[in-house]
A and B are shown apart, each in its own frame.
Chain A
C-alpha cells in the first residue's frame, strides 16, 4: 500500500460521532499544562525541616500564584542563608503545582500526607482549592497554612491556619473612607459569580455601601476564566455609576480596568487586590484613581519591608505585591513554629509544629508590621489603603 493510499484510508476510516469528539475536546481542555518542581524523596536528613508547598503556578490563578510562589521561595532562601533555625538546620521545600484545580490539589495533598518528612503544608490561592484541602489536613493531622483563599472560616487550629489578613475585614473601612473622601452617590459592582471568596467580599461591599446610603445601580457578573471584558465594561458604564467596585480574581480585573478606561470611564475604581503587573499592563494613566487595601505597603520605609522589596526586585525584576508578601510571611510563620520546637529541644514533626503554631499569638517585624494571631487567623493593626501615584508607584492613600 502506498503512503498516499494509506493516508486516504486513514483519513476516512475513523467514523467517530461528533458527540464523542466534542466530549473528548471538552474533557481534554479541562486538563491544564502541568508543572512541578523540586520534589524531594524520602530519607531527608534530620537537620532538614521539610515544608510541602502546593503551588498555583499554572491554571487560572497562575498570574498571582507565581507571586505567592516567589515569596515562598525567597523566604526559604533567606531563612536558610541566615541560619534562622540554627546552625546546620535548613528548611527544604517540597513543591508541586496544582494548576488552580481542586482535584489536582487533593492529589497533591494526598502525596504530602504520605510523605512522612513533610511537617506542614503551604497552599491555596483560590478558595475552592483551600476548601478541598482543609478537611484532608484536619483528618490526617497535617498542619496546613493557607496564604490566599478569601473565604472566611478556613482557619481551624491546631491544623489549619491562615497567614494573610481576612480581606473582607478591609471592606467596611475602605467603603467608609471612600464615601467620606470621594462622596459617590451611585455604585456599580463587578464580581466573579463562581468564587465563594469573591462573593463574600462582594456582599460585604454591597452591604457597606447600602449602610452609607450610596445607591446600588447594579452588578455585572463574570466567571473567573472570562477574559474579554469589553462588554462587561460597557454594561457597567451604562449603569452611570460614580464609582465601580471590582471584586474579581484571576486574569480579568486588570483587563476590566483597561476596558473601563478605554471606553471613557474615568471615575474611581476599587479593587480587593492589586497585582504587581496591573500598572504596567494598563499604563500609568489608566491606573490613576484606583483604590485598594494596602495590608502590605511596598513603599513603606520600614527596614524589614525595604529589604524584602529590594531583594525581591533583584531576584524577580518586579516589585513584590501583596501575594508575594503573603507567601513570604507564611513560610516565616511556619519557621517560627519549627524554631520554637527546636529551641525547646524537641523534634520537628506535624504534631509539634501544629502545637507550636497554635501557641503563636503575635509576631513583630513582619511585612505587615506587628500582627496578632487569633484562632489560627492573622490580624494586622489598622487598615491602610493604597492608590497609584502619578509616576506609577503604589503609595498609601492618605
Chain B
C-alpha cells in the first residue's frame, strides 16, 4: 500500500510538471493557433539559464529561478516577433507557423547542444533546500512539492487572469477574432506579446522544475516534456486551463503506475495510446470546446 501511495505522489508531481509545460504550450496553441514545437527547447533554455546563474554567477536558487523566467520571456517574445509576426503579416497558413517553429527548434536545440558541449549537469545540491516531506512514509522531495505548488498556483492564476481581468478578456477576444478585438479597441499585437510572455514564464518554470525533478540538466531536457505536454493539452482539452492541468496529472499518473505495475518499457506506449484514443474518439479532450477543434 505504501508503494502505491508513494507512486501516487510521484505521479502527481510528474503530472504537475507536464501540466505546467502544457499550460504554456496550450496557451499559444489555443490563442494564437500555433503548434509551437520549439516550446520544448525554450524550456531547455530556461533550465540552462538557471544552471548558469547558479554555477557561473553564484546566485541563489531564487535568483536563478528568476533568471530562467526572464530569459524565457525574452526568448519567447523574440521568437514570436522574429519568426511568427512576419508570417502573420503575410497572412500565412498554420502550416507555415509549424515549419517556422521546427526551424527555431533546430536552431535553439543545436545552440543548446553547443553551449553545453552535450554534457549533462545538475543544479548543485547545496543551491536548493534539501528538505523532504515525509507524510506517513510517503516521501516528497523539495523539487516534487515545489513542482506541485507551482503548477497549482500557475493553473489558478492563469484561470483567474483569463476569466477575471481586462487582460484576460483581451486575450480571449484576440483568440476568438483578432479583427473584432481590434475594432473593439484591443491592441492585438500588444496582447499577443502578453500571451507569448506568459508562455515564456511557464516555460522557464517548467525548465527549472524539470531540471530539479530529473536531477539532470541537458540540451535535451525540453524534448521529453514536449510530447507529454502536448498529450496533456489533447487529453485535457484545447483552450481549457483546468483541463490541461488535469490532463497533465492523468498522463503523469499513468506513466508512473505503468512503470510500477506493468513495466517502464510500456510507459510511453500507454501514454501515447491514450493520446491516440483521444485524437480519434474525443479530439476536443475532456473539457475542450468543439468549436476550438473546428477552428484549429
- Counted as pairs of residues, one from A and one from B, with CB atoms less than 8 Å apart, the total is 198
Docked CA distance A204–B278 (Å): 42
Render A220-264 as a binary contact track against B, CB cut-off 8 A, 1 for contact. 111101111111101100100000000000010011001100111
Q: Are A58 and B10 in contact, CB atoms less than 8 angstroms apart? A: no
Docked CA distance A238–B263 (Å): 15
Of B35, B114, B264, B295, which contacts A193 at CB under 8 A?
A: B264
Q: Are B223 and A29 in contact, CB atoms less than 8 angstroms apart? A: yes
Task: Check if B102 is an interface residue, CB within 8 A of chain A.
Answer: yes
Task: Check if B275 is an interface residue, CB within 8 A of chain A.
Answer: yes
Q: How far is the CB of A293 from chain B (nearest CB, A)?
A: 21
Q: Are A4 and B118 in contact, CB atoms less than 8 angstroms apart? A: no
Chain B hits for A22, CB < 8 A = 230, 234, 275, 279
Q: Which of A186-242 touch B at CB < 8 Å? A: 193-194, 220-223, 225-232, 234-235, 238
Render A337-381 as a binary contact track against B, CB cut-off 8 A, 1 for contact. 000000000000000000000000000000000000000000000
Task: Check if A281 is an interface residue, CB within 8 A of chain B.
Answer: yes
Task: Check if A63 is an interface residue, CB within 8 A of chain B.
Answer: yes
Task: Check if B160 is an interface residue, CB within 8 A of chain A.
Answer: no
Task: Check if B256 is an interface residue, CB within 8 A of chain A.
Answer: yes
Of B2, B94, B120, B280, which contacts A251 at CB under 8 A?
A: B120
Q: Are B91 and A18 in contact, CB atoms less than 8 angstroms apart? A: no
Majority secondary structure of chain B interface residues (helix, strand, loop or mixed): helix
Docked CA distance A317–B88 (Å): 46
Q: Are A227 and B221 in contact, CB atoms less than 8 angstroms apart? A: yes
Q: Are A231 and B256 in contact, CB atoms less than 8 angstroms apart? A: yes
Task: Check if A81 is an interface residue, CB within 8 A of chain B.
Answer: no
Majority secondary structure of chain A interface residues (helix, strand, loop or mixed): helix
Chain B hits for A31, CB < 8 A = 106
Given A25-B37, A33-B109, the answer on whether A6 and B91 have CB atoms closer than 8 Å is yes
- Measured as residues with beta carbon below 8 angstroms from the partner, the interface class of chain A is 35 or more
Task: Check if B149 is an interface residue, CB within 8 A of chain A.
Answer: no
Interface-located stretch among A8-16, A148-156, A162-170: A8-16
Q: Are B37 and A29 in contact, CB atoms less than 8 angstroms apart? A: yes
Given A21-B35, A234-B3, the answer on whether A277 and B89 have CB atoms closer than 8 Å is no
Q: Are B91 and A66 in contact, CB atoms less than 8 angstroms apart? A: no
Task: Check if B164 is an interface residue, CB within 8 A of chain A.
Answer: no
Of A7, A254, A255, A262, which contacts B91 at CB under 8 A?
A: A7
Q: Are A231 and B11 in contact, CB atoms less than 8 angstroms apart? A: yes
Q: How far is the CB of A227 from chain B (nearest CB, A)?
A: 5
Given A231-B10, A231-B259, A259-B215, the answer on whether A10 and B88 have CB atoms closer than 8 Å is yes
Render A48-68 as a binary contact track against B, CB cut-off 8 A, 1 for contact. 000000000110101101100
With most chain A CB atoms within 10 A of its CB, the pick from B118, B218, B260, B283 is B118
Docked CA distance A51–B142 (Å): 50
Chain A hits for B213, CB < 8 A = 228, 230
Docked CA distance A4–B190 (Å): 13
Chain A hits for B182, CB < 8 A = 4
Q: Which residue of A lies closest to B4 (CB)?
A: A238
Task: Check if B81 is an interface residue, CB within 8 A of chain A.
Answer: no
Task: Check if B129 is an interface residue, CB within 8 A of chain A.
Answer: no
Of A5, A228, A251, which contacts B218 at CB under 8 A?
A: A251
Q: Which of A1-41 touch B at CB < 8 Å? A: 1, 3-19, 21-22, 24-26, 28-29, 31-35
Task: Check if A282 is an interface residue, CB within 8 A of chain B.
Answer: yes
Q: How far is the CB of B289 from chain A (nearest CB, A)?
A: 14
Given A4-B179, A33-B109, A221-B263, the answer on whether A277 and B121 have CB atoms closer than 8 Å is yes
Of A28, A229, A281, which contacts B121 at CB under 8 A?
A: A281
Docked CA distance A255–B211 (Å): 10
Q: How far is the CB of A52 from chain B (nearest CB, A)?
A: 21
Task: Check if A267 is an interface residue, CB within 8 A of chain B.
Answer: no
Task: Check if A283 is an interface residue, CB within 8 A of chain B.
Answer: yes
Given A223-B268, A255-B216, the answer on whether A263 and B89 have CB atoms closer than 8 Å is no
Q: Are A277 and B110 in contact, CB atoms less than 8 angstroms apart? A: no
Q: Are A25 and B35 in contact, CB atoms less than 8 angstroms apart? A: yes
Task: Check if B169 is an interface residue, CB within 8 A of chain A.
Answer: no
Q: How far is the CB of A60 from chain B (nearest CB, A)?
A: 8
Q: Which residue of B lies closest to A24 (CB)?
A: B98
